Amino acid sequence: MRVESDLSPTNEIYEADARDIPIDDNSVDFIVTSPPYWQKRDYGVEDQIGQEGTPEEFVEVMVETLDEWRRVLRPHGSIFFNIGDTYESRSLAGIPWKVSDALQNDGWYIRNEIMWAKEGGMPEPAGNRLANRHEFIFHLTQNKDYFYDLWGYSNEYGNGSNPGDVWEIGHDRNTGDHLAPFPSELVERSLTLGCPPAVCTECGKPRERELRRTDKLDESRQQAKRAMEIYEQSDLTKEHVRAIQSVGISDAGKAKEIQDGTGRNADDVQKLADEAKEVLGGYFREFTFAKKETSGWSECDCDAEYERGTMMDPFCGSGTSLDVAASMGFSTVGVDLDPPEHVQPTLDASTQ
């Protein structure tokens, strides 16, 4: 179930520095980007990031840059920040960890250190070390409470209710059959997790997925498969399953909607749970982990329209992240000193 918004998505791009973005405060919901890596590539652009003389100078610039992103990011927003390392005097400089430490000291929460495990990759000439086949994606927030759709991500990418922090993603190929540095799937995964599909135009609150438990199990697990077989061959009903989920394994009430006003399990709920346990035996525990489904999307109290969630890439380069976000129905803001040729820059943010 995909949430709808009242307003169509918008797409803006600015020829500007990532440290001085010409948009309003609190105007984007999500940032996904990959900044220029330290001492990796000279883009030939004045005031570019990445050509600082030392790792420490690069780290200072990154902290300054994210201070500007903090200004434009809404309180519920996240940043998915892909950064790689560089060899200096035959030793890794430790750029990702130095940057993450500095950002944490600057008040950012480091919610995850996601490992992007690259399938394939360019050959490396080094004969006395292993080829680099991974990079880091740091999930950063400015608050402890932020938009996060783990169910939507797990439902899309599988491997359990929480698929984990290793992303095995191959490189895309660009038009010259070279490896593109920022694969589409990386952007898709990030957006699915952290960008709200719709936001109130008045209070800025995102619409969040509301879930309900079902009576279905993940039958890829043998125990769950056997539990479903017993359930389907019995006279048990969905109400019995809901009672199991209310009572729980330790008989501590969980589902408030089918409990009495005292907070204790009502007699009828306990009776249903006991009946289910009698039929299912030890397999009754499986139904406390039943699959969930979307029941709807949250509403705020404002009498206002909803707009699409807005994703920004402050180093948008060739525009891969913008194209992916737009294809997923999000509004986009791209920023770059040398923006994509196929998009005309927005001249005045105040007119948008």
**pLDDT tens figures, 270-302:** 889 899 999 999 898 888 888 888 999 999 999
Average the pLDDT over 194-222 and give the result: 91
What global pTM score does this model have?
0.83
Residue 277 in domain: yes
CA distance 171 to 26: 33
pLDDT at residue 109 greater than cutoff 90: yes
Burial of 238 (0-12, 13-18, 19+ CB in 10 A): exposed
* Residue-range definition of the domain harbouring residue 132: 11-209+298-346
Residue 239 in domain: yes
Assess whether 187 and 242 both reside in one domain. Answer: no
Residue 188 in domain: yes
pLDDT at residue 305 greater than cutoff 80: yes
**pLDDT (0 to 100) of residue 325:** 96
What is the chain's mean pLDDT, rounded? Answer: 86
Assess whether 86 and 228 both reside in one domain. Answer: no
Q: What are 224's two structure tokens?
A: 């769950």
- The CB density around residue 99, as the number of other CB atoms within 10 Å, is 23
Give the CATH number, domain containing residue 18: 3.40.50.150
pLDDT band of residue 252 (cuts 50, 70, 90) is very low
Average the pLDDT over 137-150 and give the result: 97
pLDDT band of residue 346 (cuts 50, 70, 90) is low
pLDDT at residue 190 greater than cutoff 90: yes
b (16+ CB within 10 A) / e for 262-299: eeebbeebbebbebbbeebeebbebbbbbebeeeebee
Q: Are 100 and 108 in contact (CB under 8 A)?
A: no
**pLDDT tens figures, 24-38:** 999 999 999 999 899
Assess whether 123 and 34 both reside in one domain. Answer: yes
pLDDT at residue 306 greater than cutoff 50: yes
pLDDT at residue 188 greater than cutoff 60: yes
Assess whether 35 and 119 both reside in one domain. Answer: yes
DSSP class of residue 263?
Answer: S
**Among 146-150, 177-181, 240-244, 261-265, the range of highest mean pLDDT:** 146-150
Q: Are 29 and 147 in contact (CB under 8 A)?
A: yes
Residue 199 in domain: yes
Assess whether 94 and 162 both reside in one domain. Answer: yes
Residue 314 in domain: yes
**pLDDT (0 to 100) of residue 139:** 98
Assess whether 173 and 225 both reside in one domain. Answer: no
* Kind and range of the H or E run holding 66: helix 55-72
Closest among 98, 138, 128, 132 to 117, alpha carbons compared: 132
**pLDDT tens figures, 55-88:** 999 999 999 999 999 999 999 999 999 999 999 8
Assess whether 286 and 304 both reside in one domain. Answer: no
pLDDT at residue 126 greater than cutoff 50: yes
Q: Are 255 and 202 in contact (CB under 8 A)?
A: no
Assess whether 99 and 170 both reside in one domain. Answer: yes
CA distance 341 to 13: 11
111: left (phi over 0), alpha (psi -120 to 50) or beta: alpha
Average the pLDDT over 84-111 and give the result: 94
Assess whether 333 and 306 both reside in one domain. Answer: yes
pLDDT at residue 185 greater than cutoff 70: yes
Assess whether 168 and 308 both reside in one domain. Answer: yes
Assess whether 41 and 63 both reside in one domain. Answer: yes
Residue 113 in domain: yes
Say how many domains are in the chain.
2
Residue 172 in domain: yes
**Listed residues 242, 261, 290: the one ending a domain:** 290
Considering the chain, what percentage of its residues have pLDDT values greater than 90?
A: 59
**pLDDT tens figures, 152-172:** 999 899 877 889 999 999 877
Assess whether 269 and 160 both reside in one domain. Answer: no
CA distance 38 to 56: 10
Residue 51 in domain: yes
**pLDDT (0 to 100) of residue 179:** 44
